[in-house]
Amino acid sequence: MSDAAAKFVWKLARRHSWGSPIPAEQLIRLVAGTEDHDELARVLENEVLELPFIVQSSDGIHIPNGQDAHVEAANWLREQTDFADFTIKATLSRLPNGWPNDE
């Protein structure tokens, strides 16, 4: 998985508001900074939307507001990024109290 994919997942986790979707173009702008929007659109389409805990609807893209999706996203972030467990846990509100030890 690319660093750009991790940026998308992290942005979705950070902007998470009770599972509210973010339109794809807005999500790309939030992640882009100085990066190429077309390349980011390809990463979103080919990498991020393939993740089992990411949902795309007509309203946009989001991580569902359920414990299973949050655990999957948290575990993915643990494997793909250098974020500390406490940072991930503070970001994804539906993680069980014992995460990551009770996986």
Q: What is the pLDDT of residue 101?
A: 84
Q: What is the pLDDT of residue 19?
A: 63
Mean pLDDT, rounded, for 78-82 = 95
Q: What is the pLDDT of residue 18?
A: 60
Alpha helices in 15-55 (DSSP H): 24-32, 37-46
8 A C-beta contact, residue 13 and residue 73: yes
Mean pLDDT, rounded, for 51-77 = 94
- DSSP annotation of 103 reads -
Question: Domains plus CATH for the chain?
Answer: 3-91 (1.10.10)
Residue 59: its H or E element? none
pTM (two decimals)? 0.89
